[in-house]
Amino acid sequence: MTASLYAIPLKRIDGSEATLADYAGRVLLVVNVASKCGLTPQYDGLEALYAKYKDRGLTVIGFPANNFAGQEPGGNDEILEFCRSTYGVDFPMFAKISVKGDDRHPLYDALAGDEDISWNFEKFLIGRDGKVAARFSPKTVPEDAAVVAAIEAELAKN
C-alpha cells in the first residue's frame, strides 16, 4: 500500500472513521462481501482464515457492497448483525461502499486500478510491504490452497 492508500478515508461498519493505516505492517485480505449471494457461505472460510492467522499478522477486512444483483440491500447495522449471528464474523467489517461504477470507492480504485471487480467476494491480498500481492476471483474460496499459500508466503516476509 502506498502512503496515499493508507490515507483513504474509510468508515467502520459502526460509522466510526478509519483508514487502512490502522493495519500498517499487517497482511490484509480485503474482500467485497454480500449477505444474499450464492457465495455468502465464504464468510465461514474468511472467518476461519482470520482465526487461524490473526496472531501471525493477518487481518481479513470485509467491505459490504450492493453492486451485484442487489445482493447486499441492508443497512450497516443489519449487515453486521447478519454476519455475526449467521457466520460468527469477528474480523473487521467496514461500512457499505460501492466497488464498481462511477461511484466506486477510492479504495477500490487504488486496489483494482483500471480493472473491474467481477462479483461479490473478490479478494485482494496486501502484503506487509503495502503492495497487492495477489488477487483472487470470487469463486476462489478462502480455504483454497492457492489463497492459503499466498497468505503464508506474505506472513513469512518481514
- In angstroms, how far is the first alpha carbon of the chain from the final one? 15
- Identify the bridge partners of residue 41 per DSSP, sorted by sequence position: none
- The verdict on whether 83 is a catalytic residue reads no
Q: What per-residue string of b and e applies to 73-97 under the rule 16 or more CB within 10 Å gives b?
A: ebebeebbebbeeebebebbbbbbb
**Set of cell numbers at residue 86:** 449467521
Q: Tell me, what DSSP letter sits at residue 25?
A: T
Q: Which of 18, 21, 37, 148 is catalytic?
A: 37
**Set of cell numbers at residue 113:** 486500478
Backbone angle region of 147, left / alpha / beta, with phi > 0 → left and psi within -120 to 50 → alpha: alpha
Catalytic residues: 37
